[in-house]
Structure 1
Amino acid sequence: MKRRTAREKAFQALFQMITTNLDKQHAMDYVLEEEENDDFLISLVEGVTSHQQELDELIVDNLENWSLDRLPKVEKTVLRIAVYELKFEEETPTQVAINEAVELAKTFGDEASGKFVNGVLSKMG
């Protein structure tokens, strides 16, 4: 599975987890359907869930005029994945993590989502 696809599947699994009561494994199984599991997908979902408090603190430190509670679920989920990659996935270059997050935000949100995510992550990079 390509990394972009793994990020999309990770987004979908994490989004399912915050909008329903699915646990990690069921959320990943749901988004994978019949596809093979992917190490990068597992790393993202496991990493975001196990470091969520730390990731949220980093996000809050870089928000202007927003609180984490007010963030739409799409942007919150994309930011968590991107901040996890920036902080813990050393093989992912900073600009790649930011660009991929912006594309995820545009895909699952709207044009404003991409700009918002880019603004928050640019402060971190």
Structure 2
Amino acid sequence: MNRHTAREKAFQILFQMDINQVSPTEAMETFLEDEKVDSFLMSLVNGVFDNKEEIDSTITEHLENWTLNRIATVERNILRIATYEIKFMSDIPNNVTINEAVELGNKFGDDKSGRFINGVLSKIIA
């Protein structure tokens, strides 16, 4: 599984966890069924889950006229993945992380999601 696909699946798993309040293990088992769990996918899901408080705090510090709870579940979980990558995965260039997050926003969000995600993440790396 390539990293782009792993990010998409991590987003979908984290979205499910956010909506249904299930554990990472349960969400991965349900979503992936018999598919092999990729190590990058697992590191994203577990990393976001384990560091959610710090990640949410970082996102909140860089929001203007928004609160984390007002952000749609799609954008919130994409921002969490990207913020995790920026803060905890130094081997991934920030521009790659932002580009991937914007692509996820454009695919799963509405027509303004990509721009919103880009704006927040640009402030985080500044």
TM-score range, shorter chain: over 0.9
- In the other structure, the counterpart of 1:26 is 26
Length-normalised TM-score, structure 1: 0.96
- In the other structure, the counterpart of 1:41 is 41
Name the aligned partner's letter for residue 116 of structure 1.
F
- In the other structure, the counterpart of 2:9 is 9
RMSD between aligned residues: 0.9
Worse-superposed segment, 16-25 or 73-82:
16-25
Shift in Å, 1:26: 1.6
| Gapped regions of structure 1 (runs ≥ 5) | none
Shift in Å, 1:33: 2.6
- In the other structure, the counterpart of 2:107 is 107
Aligned length: 125
CA distance in 2, matches of 1:30, 1:4: 20
Shift in Å, 1:35: 1.5
Moved over 6 A (4+): none
Shift in Å, 1:30: 2.1
* CA displacement, residues 29-78 of structure 1 (integer Å, 9 cap, x when unaligned): 22223221100000000000000000001000110000011111001000
Shift in Å, 1:90: 1.1
